[in-house]
Chains A and B, each alone.
Chain A
Amino acid sequence: DTAVSQTPKYLVTQMGNDKSIKCEQNLGHDTMYWYKQDSKKFLKIMFSYNNKELIINETVPNRFSPKSPDKAHLNLHINSLELGDSAVYFCASSQGTSAQETQYFGPGTRLLVL
């Protein structure tokens, strides 16, 4: 069973389109995250939700809007896609927000904006 799953795995789209990436975890965790890994391979946190409430929002353009319908899901909607949005997006989850908690990452969604 996949612990953290993301769909789609690959996403190719045109500039200006709106797209969504879905994430689901079956670990019973309370906290979920979105990370972005750019072409230089730097991995940066974008958002964090704990019990469906936003707790981290790292200087991300408001074209990016996370939505957590329940604790097991954290979706990422992106409006008006730009070339610079091309990256790999990783979803992750952890039991809580403690510094000792292990984060479990999904396989990533590779987004290419043309």
Chain B
Amino acid sequence: DAKTTQPNSMESNEEEPVHLPCNHSTISGTDYIHWYRQLPSQGPEYVIHGLTSNVNNRMASLAIAEDRKSSTLILHRATLRDAAVYYCILRDVWRDDKIIFGKGTRLHILP
């Protein structure tokens, strides 16, 4: 399975943008890039996913490098509620459906 590398933790100030990086240098052409987050004492929740093009939704934006070897999750205006562990995950369209979670990035939001 293609693996992802994320910083263990990051800090950001409230109401400022946050850029969460993810490296996936061994990504294959059929790997989708997914982001999930886990708020304290809750189950993981879907944030966004993409294949090649940048993606936007109401929660965040996903910027994918042209060579697809890295991506960045962008929270445009962080709130205290965005403090969570963010997981960058690759899912191969040709393989089974299991999600393999790494260690993720613990995001701290400073008021």
How far, in whole Å, are A58 and B97 apart by their CA atoms in the complex?
A: 12
How far, in whole Å, are A11 and B33 apart by their CA atoms in the complex?
A: 35
**A55 touches B (CB below 8 Å):** yes
**A43 touches B (CB below 8 Å):** yes
Query: Which residues on A are within 8 Å of B, measured CB to CB?
Result: 4, 31, 33, 41-45, 48, 55-56, 58, 90, 92, 94, 96-108
Min distance, Cβ A47 to any Cβ of chain B, angstroms: 10
Min distance, Cβ B35 to any Cβ of chain A, angstroms: 11
Are A99's CB and B43's CB within 8 A? no
Are A42's CB and B98's CB within 8 A? no
Given A41-B85, A42-B103, A97-B44 contact (CB < 8 Å):
no
Are B97's CB and A90's CB within 8 A? no
Min distance, Cβ A29 to any Cβ of chain B, angstroms: 12
Are B43's CB and A31's CB within 8 A? no
Among the stretches B19-27, B66-74, B76-84, B88-96, the one at the interface with A is B88-96
Min distance, Cβ B6 to any Cβ of chain A, angstroms: 14
Are A43's CB and B96's CB within 8 A? no
Are A56's CB and B96's CB within 8 A? yes
Min distance, Cβ A35 to any Cβ of chain B, angstroms: 8
Q: List 24 A-B contacts (CB under 8 A).
A: A33-B98, A41-B85, A41-B103, A42-B103, A43-B44, A43-B87, A48-B96, A55-B96, A90-B43, A90-B44, A92-B44, A96-B97, A99-B30, A99-B31, A99-B93, A100-B32, A100-B91, A101-B97, A103-B46, A105-B43, A105-B45, A106-B43, A108-B41, A108-B42
Given A92-B43, A102-B46, A104-B46, A43-B101 contact (CB < 8 Å):
yes
| Residue of B whose beta carbon sits closest to that of A90 | B43
| Chain A hits for B93, CB < 8 A | 98-100
| Chain A hits for B87, CB < 8 A | 43
Given A41-B85, A42-B101, A99-B95 contact (CB < 8 Å):
yes
